[in-house]
Amino acid sequence: MSTPSTPQTEKPPRSDGDGRAIPAAIATLVGLLALAAALGVGHLLAGFIAPQSSPFVAVGDGFIRITPPFLLEFAKSTFGLNDKLVLNIGMGAIIALVAVVAGLVSRRSSRPGRAIFMVLGLVGLLAALTSPVFELLGMIAPLGALVAGVGVFGWLHGLALDAAGGSAGEPGRDAADRGGLSRRRLLMSTAVTAVGAAVAGAVGQLRFGSGGIEDSRQAIGALRPATPVPAVPAGADFASLGTPTFITPNADFYRIDTANLLIPRTAAESWSMSIHGMVDRELKLTYADLMNRPLVEKTITLTCVSNEIGGELISTSNFVGVPLRDLLMEAGVQPGATQIFTTSEDGWTCGTPTDVVMEPDRGALLAIGMNGEPLPLEHGFPVRMVVPGLYGFVSATKWLADMELTTFEAAQSYWLKRGWGEKAPIKTQSRIDKPKPFERVDVGKVTVAGVAWSQHRGIDRVEVRADDGPWVVAELATEVSTDTWRMWRADLELGAGSHTLQCRSTDRTGATQPVERVDPIPDGATGWHSVIMTAA
């Protein structure tokens, strides 16, 4: 006679497909927290290994690299100096939306969400692998992010399923108690995940800034050039009337480059560069080599080719550095070397016409300072290139890492590959700064003020008019250099009503800026700037 077996209470195995479903709000939270964990872990690892390999940074930089030029120009013209902020907000919103979708399609099974996070992780890994500055250790951060995203999603998803149906089979607990315990576990786990992701991301961000770069910069101290520029004369601007100050403070100097969240960080003491290629002798330089040479100071206005008519992508600084022509003569430029091909620390490349730099009076610099102090990090520290008279995309490489003498046929720079101009001399332009668009002023004499520029040729005349009337020759501010902008002002008599103001400038060669509007790309905008205002 057999003995009846004693009933045993067993916890039935939980499976993704047992009928339970996570509430939509919880599923959304699971997706977002898994994303936060992935980005936090990736940012943390990158901070200790290779900053540019952070998945968010790598994807942002990769997006910039593959974005069609017309879209980049749309972003610059629409958002101006906030284009990178808008890019990162937009990219973050898209990734967050994908994470939300991953959660919502996984309410019953974690498999769809884990697959989506696997794809996101592979995108981050691909972006790091295709970076111009990729190094083998750069795989660690995106791989860590991939594992964290998939793992955290699966873990939280399991807890959420338990909370949705109660933790079945807990001896001595009724269904309500089991459900409450599972929900508390889920709440505790989501809180831990959120805090952990935030801490990981913050520590990674702190690591990005802890390389001693600012200490290196501050240790250089004030720069004292052997050949300083004269003091800017008192009459060089009409700032009291609404124009910019003649010298742009470093904090206000416009910034346009392809670096996204992170800018290159190289200490001055570890910086080095070679001038090589079509030269008689390779010239190797360190920061100390530059500091030990006679430093010169030059007042130069830089202009971005993306500057729209009336735009603000133009600034002026006293740059300090070593004459680039002298360095090239020391290296011995060989005949036929038509291009100076420079590379930035972040992999961006620039092609500068050799003949322009070699002009005796051009004044091109390997710059190490702006306005009496070492270059700010965002403006190219420790060393950048500055060539007066050419738009920045062919003349102003920041975070300089390499210089090769070659030909335009042998090497194509970043923007040349995208159809931009080859030599890109800055075009003669002018802008109305006061009155502002749609400003209301008093009837009668109205002072109009602005700036004009024609770097390396100089401004000879500026004219302004209202409502297609006769041109009035403006008063020009004191000229500082043909390589800098020049302020102007004029008084117009305006009656009541709406008025359209226009300005145009003429350079020292006698060429007047054309009225025809031409887009900035491929080699600079043309056209007259106009402002609509009201006198009342």
CA distance 71 to 230: 42
Output the CA–CA distances (angstroms, integers) from residue 312 to 78, 79, 303, 407, 495, in the order listed.
12, 12, 9, 33, 29
CA distance 42 to 36: 10
pLDDT at 135: 79
pLDDT at 174: 53
pLDDT at 13: 42
Q: What are phi and psi of 339, to 5 degrees?
A: -130, 135
147 near 154, Cβ under 8 Å? no
Name all contacts of 103-106 with Cβ < 8 Å and 24+ positions apart: 103/27, 103/28, 103/29, 103/30, 103/31, 103/32, 103/34, 104/24, 104/27, 104/28, 104/31, 106/22, 106/27, 106/30, 106/31, 106/153, 106/157
pLDDT at 175: 52
Residue 240 is given by DSSP the state: G
pLDDT at 118: 95
386 contacts: CB under 8 Å, gap ≥ 6:
298, 300, 302, 319, 321, 364, 365, 367, 395, 396
Give tens-digit pLDDT for 137-163. Answer: 889 999 999 999 999 999 999 999 888
pLDDT at 10: 44
CA distance 448 to 532: 12
10-residue averages of pLDDT along the chain (536 residues): 45 53 94 95 89 85 77 72 79 93 95 95 90 82 94 94 64 52 87 94 79 85 93 95 97 86 85 97 97 97 95 97 98 98 94 97 97 95 98 96 97 92 95 97 97 97 97 97 97 96 97 94 95 96
430 near 309, Cβ under 8 Å? no
429-535: same fold as 234-418?
Answer: no
Q: Is the pTM of this model over 0.85?
A: no
Topology of domain 429-535, CATH: Immunoglobulin-like (2.60.40)
31 near 99, Cβ under 8 Å? yes
pLDDT at 176: 53
Per-domain residue ranges of the chain: 24-208, 234-418, 429-535
Architecture of domain 234-418 in this structure: Alpha-Beta Complex (3.90)
CA distance 484 to 299: 7
Q: Kindly state the tokens that stand for 65.
A: 């690299």
CA distance 369 to 299: 12
pLDDT at 264: 86
Which helix H or strand E contains 199, and what residues bound it? helix 175-208
CA distance 28 to 230: 63
